[in-house]
Amino acid sequence: MEKRSITISRMISIYIAVVSVLIGFTTLVALIIAFFLNRESSFAADNVEKAVEAWIHDCQESGEINTALFPEGADIIVVSTDGEEIFVKVSSSKEKALRKFARESSPENGRLLHGKDVYLRMDAADESAFIHYCVSAPHEYLILFTFALAYLLEVLIPTVVLIKKIKSSLRKVFDYTESLKSQDLSVSPINTGIYELDQINIATDSMQKELVATMEDNWKKEQDSKAQMAQIAHDLKTPLTVIRGNADLLMEKEYDEESKESLEAIIRNSEKIALSVLDILEK
- Output the DSSP codes for 219-238: HHHHHHHHHHHHHHHHHHHH
- Closest to 93 measured CA to CA, from 75, 113, 118, 72: 75
Instruction: Using pLDDT thresholds of 50, 70 and 90, give the confidence band for residue 120.
Output: very high
Q: What is the pLDDT of residue 250?
A: 73
Are 29 and 152 in the same domain?
yes
Are 84 and 220 in the same domain?
no
Q: What is the pLDDT of residue 281?
A: 61
Q: Is the pLDDT of residue 137 over 90?
A: no
Instruction: Using pLDDT thresholds of 50, 70 and 90, give the confidence band for residue 153.
Output: very high
* 30 vs 190: CA distance, rounded Å: 45
**Is position 186 within any domain?**
no
On the CB side of 44, CA atoms within 13 Å amount to 12
Are 276 and 240 in the same domain?
yes
**Is position 274 within any domain?**
yes
Q: What is the pLDDT of residue 41?
A: 46
Q: For the ranges 76-85, 181-190, 227-236, 251-260, which has the lowest average pLDDT?
A: 181-190
**Is position 180 within any domain?**
no
Q: For the ranges 22-36, 96-110, 145-159, 188-202, which has the lowest average pLDDT?
A: 188-202
Instruction: Using pLDDT thresholds of 50, 70 and 90, give the confidence band for residue 1.
Output: very low
Q: For the ranges 25-29, 39-43, 168-172, which has the lowest average pLDDT?
A: 39-43
Give yes or no for a contact between 195 and 165, defined as CB atoms under 8 angstroms apart: no
Which residues have C-beta within 8 Å of that of residue 49, sequence separation ≥ 6? 118, 133, 135
Q: What is the pLDDT of residue 155?
A: 92
* 83 vs 259: CA distance, rounded Å: 153
Are 270 and 199 in the same domain?
yes
Are 200 and 277 in the same domain?
yes
Q: Is the pLDDT of residue 121 over 90?
A: yes
**Is position 87 within any domain?**
yes
* Structural domain total, the chain: 3
Are 214 and 267 in the same domain?
yes
Are 240 and 127 in the same domain?
no
Instruction: Using pLDDT thresholds of 50, 70 and 90, give the confidence band for residue 191.
Output: confident
Are 200 and 266 in the same domain?
yes
Average pLDDT of the residues in 43-49: 66
* 210 vs 216: CA distance, rounded Å: 10
* 108 vs 3: CA distance, rounded Å: 80
* 153 vs 16: CA distance, rounded Å: 14
Are 19 and 151 in the same domain?
yes
User: Which CATH number characterizes residue 122's domain?
Assistant: 3.30.450.30
Domain that holds residue 105: 66-134
Are 216 and 79 in the same domain?
no
Are 126 and 151 in the same domain?
no
Are 13 and 151 in the same domain?
yes
- Closest to 157 measured CA to CA, from 21, 4, 30, 5: 21
**Is position 1 within any domain?**
no
Q: Is the pLDDT of residue 219 over 90?
A: no
